[in-house]
C-alpha cells in the first residue's frame, strides 16, 4: 500500500492524525462520553494490531502518572535500571558441558552461558526535536529505520482494506475477559463501541501509544517505563492489566477542565493506574489531600501503597567517611523529589521481578525496607548520569560563547515557580544582561504563568522579552500537531500588560525592562527560528552594547555575557534545541 515507506513519509502520515490539541478540545466538550469510551476504544485499537491487554504483562511495566515531574522521574527510573542491567549482564554464568563438567572460572577455552540480555524501554511525551525520542530502547531513541518499520506495521492495520474488513470477535464485549481486571470504576457498556461502527482511527497520541507498546513487545524489553499522557484513569496508556509497579509524582492543579478543579479530584484521576496485586509509590512531598485519595483507591483496588523515602534518608559515605547526598544529573532542587521516587520505584520493581531473584548479589548491600542504608553503585551512577533535555537545561553554543541559554519547559504555576528559582540560583550575578523567550503551551493560564515570570524580570536585568509562535521550519522535526492560534501573540501581549499593571515593578533600574511602558523592549516574532536569529544577531558578539549599569559606567567588553531564558512550553524548548543545533543525546 505504501511502496516507499520512508521515515519522512511516516512522519507525514503521523502528523495527519487528529492532533492532541483537537483531541483535548473534544474531551472538554464531551468529557463524560469521552471518558467512558477511552479505554474500550484503546482495547479495540490494540486488538486491531493483534494484542490483548494481558499480552503486555510481559513488559514488567513501571507505570507513572502525576502532575509534576513525570518525565524526569521516568528518565531517572530508566537510567537506574539500565545501570542494573549492565551490572548483571557483565557477569558470566557457569554452565555444565556435555561431559557434565562445571565451568566456574573464566578462560578462553571454557564455555559460558550467555546471559539473557537486559533491555529497557521508555515511553514519554512530548518529544523535544524528533518524535522517535518518545520511544527509547536502552535509553536511546529508536532509529529512523526501526521507527519506520514498526510505524507501517501498525499504520497498515488501520488503513489496509482487508484488515478493516476483518471483524473482531463479535461475541465478546468490548473489554472481553479483561473487563474486571482493569479495575475501572465505570461499567463499560458494549453499546459504547458498536461492532457495526466504522473502525476507529487512533489520534496522534493514541497511535504513538500503540506503536510504543508494539515496539517494546517485538524488541523483547525486560522492563518498560511508561509515562501517562494526561490523567491516569482514562489515559491511553492505562490498558496495562498488571503493571509491576506504579508511581505517582507530585499532584498539582493542571488540566482542571479535564481532570477536575481540586487536588482530590485530580488525585483520583491519577490514581486510576493502580491495579490489583501491584504496588503504587507516591512522591515523598505529596499533598496530604492526595495521599488520602491514594490510600482509599489502593484499598478499593487491592493495591499496596507506599510513600517514597527522601534521598537524604539513604546515607552515603565517601572513602573518608564523610556524609554526602547522592548526586543527580538533572539540575533543579525540585528534581531531588523526582529522583527519590525513582529510586523507590526501582527497588520495588526489583523486589517483584525475576531479575533480583536471579541476581541477588546485585542488591545484597541494600536493605530496601529500612532507611540509613547504602545505595548500590549502579543506583548512584544512574542518578548522576540521568539526562533529560529541556528541563533545567543550560548550554553555551560554540559559535556564540558569550551567550548562555537556560531552557525549561515549565507550563504550570508550580513548575514555572521551580523554573524561576532554578534560573535565579544559576544566574547569581545579577548584573549579567538577560533575554526572555516565552510562549506558553496551548490552553494554559497565561496570567498565572506571567505572575511567576515577573519575579525573574524584577530580579535580573532583562534587556528584551520575546514572544514567538511555536513554529520551526525543519521538515523532519516540525510537529504539525501543535495548536496555532493566529491571535496567540497579541493575546499574550495583552495578558503581559494586564498582569504588569497589577504588579508594579519595584527597584526597576535602567537595565530592566519596564513592564508597563517600555513595550518597545517586547518583540512579537513569527517563529522560533526568528527568535533565535534575533538573539544571535543582536547579542551574539563580544562587543559592548549601548547599555549602562546603575553607576552609568559601561560594562567592560570582557565581561559582556547574555543569559537567555526560554520557558512556557516543551514544544518551545524543543524548537530552540532544534534551531540551535544543540545535541541532546
- 331: CB partners within 8 A, 6+ apart: 392, 393, 394, 422, 426
Grouping H, G, I as helix, E, B as strand and the rest as coil, residue 503 is coil
- 263: CB partners within 8 A, 6+ apart: 251, 252, 253, 287, 289, 290
Give the DSSP letter of residue 140.
Answer: E
Q: What is the DSSP string of 254-322?
A: -SHHHH-SSHHHHHHHHGGG--TT-EEEE-TT--HHHHHHHHHHHHHTT-EEEEPPPGGGS-EE-TT--
Calpha distance 373→112 (Å, rounded): 34
Q: Is 175 exposed, middle or buried (0-12, 13-18, 19+ CB in 10 A)?
A: buried
Q: Does the annotation place 125 within a ligand binding site?
A: yes
Q: Is 385 exposed, middle or buried (0-12, 13-18, 19+ CB in 10 A)?
A: middle
Calpha distance 465→522 (Å, rounded): 5
CA quadruple 96, 99, 103, 106: dihedral sign: negative
Q: Does the annotation place 145 within a ligand binding site?
A: no
φ, ψ at 25 (rounded to 5°): -60, -40
User: Helices in 93-238 by DSSP H: which ranges?
Assistant: 144-159, 161-165, 204-219
Could you tell me the CA-to-CA distances from 585 to 130, 139, 479, 566 in Å, in that order? 12, 9, 19, 20
Calpha distance 498→515 (Å, rounded): 10
Helix axes 204-219 and 144-159, enclosed angle (nearest 10): 120
Residue with cell 522535526: 477
> Which residue(s) pair with 102 in the sheet?
96
Cell numbers that stand for 97 in this block: 558441558
Could you tell me the CA-to-CA distances from 463 to 36, 153, 409, 551 in Å, in that order? 50, 51, 22, 17
Cis peptide before 126 (omega within 30 of 0): yes
Give the DSSP letter of residue 374.
Answer: P
The 3-state DSSP composition of the chain as helix, strand, coil percent (nearest 5) reads: 45, 15, 45
Angle at 392 between CA 386 and CA 393, to 5 degrees: 80
Cell numbers that stand for 393 in this block: 537545561
Residue with cell 529510586: 343
In contact, 307 and 281? CB cutoff 8 Å: yes
Q: Does the annotation place 391 within a ligand binding site?
A: yes
Known binding residues are: 125, 227, 255, 391, 408
Known binding residues for Mg(2+) are: 125, 227, 255
Known binding residues for ATP are: 391, 408
Amino acid at each position: 500500500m505504501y511502496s516507499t515507506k520512508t521515515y519522512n513519509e511516516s512522519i507525514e502520515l503521523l502528523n495527519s492524525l487528529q492532533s492532541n490539541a483537537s483531541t483535548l478540545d473534544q474531551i472538554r466538550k464531551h468529557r463524560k462520553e469521552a471518558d467512558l469510551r477511552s479505554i474500550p476504544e484503546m482495547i479495540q485499537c490494540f486488538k486491531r494490531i493483534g494484542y490483548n491487554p494481558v499480552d503486555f504483562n510481559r513488559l514488567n511495566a513501571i507505570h507513572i502518572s502525576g502532575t509534576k515531574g513525570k518525565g524526569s522521574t521516568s528518565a531517572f527510573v530508566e537510567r537506574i535500571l539500565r545501570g542494573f542491567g549492565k551490572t548483571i549482564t557483565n557477569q558470566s554464568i557457569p554452565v555444565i558441558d556435555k561431559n557434565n563438567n562445571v565451568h566456574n572460572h573464566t578462560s578462553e577455552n571454557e564455555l559460558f552461558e550467555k546471559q539473557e540480555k537486559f533491555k529497557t524501554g521508555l515511553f514519554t511525551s512530548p518529544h523535544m526535536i524528533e518524535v522517535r525520542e518518545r520511544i527509547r530502547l536502552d535509553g536511546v531513541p529508536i532509529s529512523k529505520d526501526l521507527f519506520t518499520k514498526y510505524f507501517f506495521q501498525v499504520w497498515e492495520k488501520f488503513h489496509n482494506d482487508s484488515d478493516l474488513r476483518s471483524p473482531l470477535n463479535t461475541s465478546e464485549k468490548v473489554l472481553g475477559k479483561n473487563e474486571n481486571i482493569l479495575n475501572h470504576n465505570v461499567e463499560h457498556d458494549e453499546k459504547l463501541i458498536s461492532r457495526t461502527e466504522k473502525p476507529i482511527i487512533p489520534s496522534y497520541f493514541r497511535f504513538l501509544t500503540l506503536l510504543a507498546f508494539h515496539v517494546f513487545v517485538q524488541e523483547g524489553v525486560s522492563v518498560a517505563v511508561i509515562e501517562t499522557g494526561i490523567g491516569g484513569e482514562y489515559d491511553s496508556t492505562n490498558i496495562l492489566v498488571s503493571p509491576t509497579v506504579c508511581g505517582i509524582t507530585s499532584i498539582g492543579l493542571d488540566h482542571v477542565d479535564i481532570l477536575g478543579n481540586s487536588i482530590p479530584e485530580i488525585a483520583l484521576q491519577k490514581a486510576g493506574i493502580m491495579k490489583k496485586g501491584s504496588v503504587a509509590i507516591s512522591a515523598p512531598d505529596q499533598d496530604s489531600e492526595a495521599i488520602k485519595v491514594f490510600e482509599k483507591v489502593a484499598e478499593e483496588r487491592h493495591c499496596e501503597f507506599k510513600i517514597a523515602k527522601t534521598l537524604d534518608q539513604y546515607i552515603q559515605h565517601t572513602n573518608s567517611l564523610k556524609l554526602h547526598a547522592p548526586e543527580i544529573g538533572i539540575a533543579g532542587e525540585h528534581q531531588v523529589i523526582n529522583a527519590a521516587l525513582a529510586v523507590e520505584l526501582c527497588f520495588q520493581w526489583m523486589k517483584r521481578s525475576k531479575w533480583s531473584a536471579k541476581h541477588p548479589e546485585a542488591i545484597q548491600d541494600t536493605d530496601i525496607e529500612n532507611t540509613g542504608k547504602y545505595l548500590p553503585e549502579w543506583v548512584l551512577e544512574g542518578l548522576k548520569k540521568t539526562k533529560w533535555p529541556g528541563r533545567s537545561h543550560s548550554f553555551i553554543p560554540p559559535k556564540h560563547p558569550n551567550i548562555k541559554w537556560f531552557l525549561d519547559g515549565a507550563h504550570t504555576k508550580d513548575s514555572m515557580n521551580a523554573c524561576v528559582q532554578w534560573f535565579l540560583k544559576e544566574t547569581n550575578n545579577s548584573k549579567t544582561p538577560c533575554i526572555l523567550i516565552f510562549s506558553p503551551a496551548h490552553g494554559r493560564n497565561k496570567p498565572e504563568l506571567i505572575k511567576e515570570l515577573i519575579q525573574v524580570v524584577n530580579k535580573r536585568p532583562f534587556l528584551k522579552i520575546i514572544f514567538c509562535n511555536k513554529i520551526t521550519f525543519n521538515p523532519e522535526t516540525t510537529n504539525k500537531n501543535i495548536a496555532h492560534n493566529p491571535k496567540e501573540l497579541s493575546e499574550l501581549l495583552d495578558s503581559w500588560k494586564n498582569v504588569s499593571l497589577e504588579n508594579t515593578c519595584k527597584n526597576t533600574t535602567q537595565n530592566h525592562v519596564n513592564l508597563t511602558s517600555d513595550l518597545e523592549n517586547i518583540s512579537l516574532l513569527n517563529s522560533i527560528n526568528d527568535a533565535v536569529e534575533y538573539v544571535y544577531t543582536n547579542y551574539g558578539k563580544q562587543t559592548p552594547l549601548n547599555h549602562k549599569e546603575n553607576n552609568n559606567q559601561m560594562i567592560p567588553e570582557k565581561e559582556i555575557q547574555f543569559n537567555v531564558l526560554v520557558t512556557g512550553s516543551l514544544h518551545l524548548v524543543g524548537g530552540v534545541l532544534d534551531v540551535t543545533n544543540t545535541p541532546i543525546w
